Structure 1
């Protein structure tokens, strides 16, 4: 596995990441048919603001950067130490992303493992995440890292 550690985001990194995260999440929601395109970005921005009311200083949130031993930042990880559905003793990954130029080198698995270590260090016993059904690469990573399906939503399009 690629060698990687995590460190807290800086204020500058947080500001850049917030916008990028909202744009990516909005696009995923539109592609999944969950949100209308013209409202998606604002909805994503509002949702993130609700989850991070104090920004980088929001209590119970780990906002981390994955860093190689040479200091190169390769990705981002956002973990809530309290599950959004209040599942006991369970943290939640809101976002994990390896920067495009570093994908395919094992950093996704290393970032996931480093996040798991950070959650363990906080005394939380399990970690959960959500993944879109069409994201087969991520599903493969999570399954091979020991994650199992605990809930599943299914949809059938009735219009062509």
Structure 2
């Protein structure tokens, strides 16, 4: 596997990423039964805008691109250096995505490790994340990378 480094997102990458993130976030919430398909995209956009009120300039947010040694961008990371629930010294991985054409080569694990280093370099002593229950591929990556379940939300549909 090639060496992976991180760099800041460009404004053009940020614009494209925001749209792709909203589509994926909406899909995950709809699949999980949290939102309807009709409301999903609007709710996702609102949630992202609330967390990034100043866009790329929002303080305490790392918006990064994983790049191979040859300059090829392979994925993106969004890390909040301030935890959403205020946990001290704990950053929060909001999003990690490896481009479909780069999957299956260990680059997700490399991107995750690079994000962990970036958070640690900025004072974080822990990194927390959420993973949707249906995303077993991501859950497996996180478990095998040393993450452990600290809270778990479960649901049972009660049908007539």
Give the TM-score band, short-chain normalised: over 0.9
- Aligned position for 1:107: 107
Q: Which residue pairs with 1:158 in the alignment?
A: 158
Distance 1:2 1:86 in 2: 36
> 2:67·2:73 contact (CA, 8 Å) conserved in 1?
yes
Is it true that 1:23 corresponds to 2:23 in the alignment? yes
Name structure 2 gaps, 5 residues minimum.
none
- Structure 2 residue 97 is the aligned partner of structure 1 residue 97: yes
Asked if structure 2 preserves the Cα contact closer than 8 Å seen for 1:5 and 1:67, the reply is yes
Q: Deviations over 1:114-150 (max 9, x none)?
A: 0000001101110000001121111111011110000
Report the secondary structure of 1:31's partner residue: helix
TM-score relative to the length of structure 1 = 0.97
Deviation at 1:2, TM superposition (A): 4.8
- Map 1:8-19; keep pairs closer than 5 Å: 8-19=8-19
Deviation of the 1:105 alpha carbon: 0.6
Structure 1 residue 159 displacement after superposition: 2.0
Structure 1: segments with no counterpart, 5+ residues: none
Q: How many correspondences in the alignment?
A: 160
Trace 1:2-151 onto structure 2 (pairs within 5 A).
Answer: 2-151=2-151
- Decide whether aligned partners of structure 1 residues 33 and 51 sit closer, same or farther in structure 2, where only a CA change above 3 A counts: same
Does the Cα contact within 8 Å between 1:52 and 1:58 map onto a contact in 2? Answer: yes
Which consecutive aligned stretches of 4+ in structure 1 deviate over 2 angstroms post-superposition?
none
1:83 and 1:20 map into 2 onto residues whose CA distance is: 23
The CA distance in 1 between the partners of 2:77 and 2:154, in whole Å, is 27
Distance of 1:134 and 1:35 partners within structure 2? 15
Structure 1 pair 146–2 and aligned structure 2 pair: CA distance change class (3 A): farther
